[in-house]
């Protein structure tokens, strides 16, 4: 009987620990679901002069822990498709992401964590762009009511030691 009570208690404790995390993690990715319109500023190649940018994207869950967030972004110089794939682990704290741009054949891989409701992603491998060696940090923040997403990116030229706010986009749900 005592053995049964102990087993039951440990199960309840486990559930109490896991359920909130899973629910929280599910909330993070489900926050991206829907049709979004974003506007902001982008710097071409990370360090170029700022240009206005507009995006129309669609977020959809591919599994309870994975979301695809992709669509079309345009600046006054041109436009292209982009896709951001976000996946979380079972704890919901560790995040992996991949960015795919139609203008480039390469995928950029990120890994990061959820901190206080903000997803912070770090580029896994720096890329060489002309004279520069670039890495970036992307932050994504879904508002508590899931009505907006703030996406920002800061790039760093590790060779020259320069930083630049390369992207700031505020997404709102499309009406």
Partner 1 sequence: MRYLSSFILQSSVLRPVWVLLVLLPLAVASVFGVLRINYEDGLRSVFSSESQVFQEYARHSDGFTQSEANVAVLVSAPSALDGDDLGHLQEFLLDVQFLDGIAGILSVFSLRRADQGGAAFIPLLPSELGDQGALHLALKSAARMNLTGAALVSSDLRETVVVLSIGGDPSEMVSSSKVLRNLDKLTAKFAEDSGLEVQVAGLLSVREHIIQGLRLDQMKINLLGALFGFAVSLVMFRSFWVAALNTITPIIALLFCLGAFGWFGLSINALTNALPVLILVLASSDSIHLTYEIRLRMSAGEKRIAAVRQAVIDIAPPCVLTSLTTMLAFVSLFYSESPIIRDLALSGVVGVFIAMIAVLFVHPMVFVLAGGLPLIKRALPIRHAEQGQGFTDLLAKAVTSRFRAISVLGVALCVAGLWVLLPVQTNYRFMENIDVDNSVAETLSRVEQIAGPVTTVEIPLRLKDGIGPFDAALLVDIGVLHQAVKDIAGIHSGFSLHSLRVVLSGDGELVSPEVLKAMFDKMPERFRNRLIGTDGRTLQLTLLVPDIGSQAVARFALDVEIITRNLGLTAVSVGRPTGFLVMSSALSDAMIRQLTISFLLAAIACPLLIGVWYRRLDFALAAIVPNLLPIALIGAGLTLLDFDIQLTSALALTIAFGIALDDSIHVFNRLHLQACEDPSQGMSRQAIDLAMKKVSPVLVTTTVILSSGILATLVSEMPMIRFFGVLCIVTFVLALICDLLVLPALIVSFTRKIR
Give yes or no for residue 58 binding partner 1 (CB under 8 A).
no
Per CB under 8 A, which of residues 88..127 are in contact with partner 1? none
Write the binding mask 34 to 53 for partner 1: x where contact by CB under 8 A, - elsewhere. --------------xxxxxx
Select from 11-19, 77-85, 90-98, 152-160 the region that touches partner 1 (CB under 8 A).
77-85
Structural contact between residues 44 and 60, judged by C-beta atoms closer than 8 angstroms: no
CB closer to partner 1 out of 72 and 120: 72
Select from 14-22, 75-83, 105-113, 165-173 the region that touches partner 1 (CB under 8 A).
75-83
Quote the tokens at residue 138. 């992307």
Secondary-structure breakdown of the chain: helix, strand, coil percentages, each rounded to the nearest 5: 20, 60, 25
| Dihedral angle over CA of 65, 32, 78, 154, nearest 10 | -80
Q: What is the DSSP letter of 16?
A: H
Give yes or no for residue 131 binding partner 1 (CB under 8 A).
yes
Quote the tokens at residue 49. 């002069």
> Which residues make up the interface to partner 1 (CB under 8 A)?
48-54, 56, 72, 74-79, 130-131
């Amino acid at each position: 009987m005592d053995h049964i009570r102990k087993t039951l208690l440990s199960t309840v404790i486990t559930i109490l620990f896991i359920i909130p995390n899973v629910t929280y993690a599910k909330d993070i990715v489900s926050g991206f679901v829907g049709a979004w319109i974003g506007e902001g500023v982008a710097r071409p190649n990370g360090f170029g002069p700022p240009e206005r940018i507009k995006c129309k994207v669609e977020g959809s869950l591919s599994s309870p822990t994975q979301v695809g967030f992709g669509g079309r972004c345009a600046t006054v110089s041109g436009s292209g498709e982009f896709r951001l794939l976000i996946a979380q682990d079972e704890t919901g704290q560790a995040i992996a992401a991949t960015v795919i741009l139609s203008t480039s054949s390469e995928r950029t891989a990120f890994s990061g964590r959820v901190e206080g409701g903000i997803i912070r992603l770090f580029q896994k491998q720096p890329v060489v762009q002309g004279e520069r060696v670039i890495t970036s940090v992307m932050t994504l923040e879904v508002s508590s009511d899931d009505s907006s997403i703030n996406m920002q990116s800061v790039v760093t030229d590790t060779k020259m030691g320069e930083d630049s706010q390369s992207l700031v986009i505020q997404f709102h749900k499309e009406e």
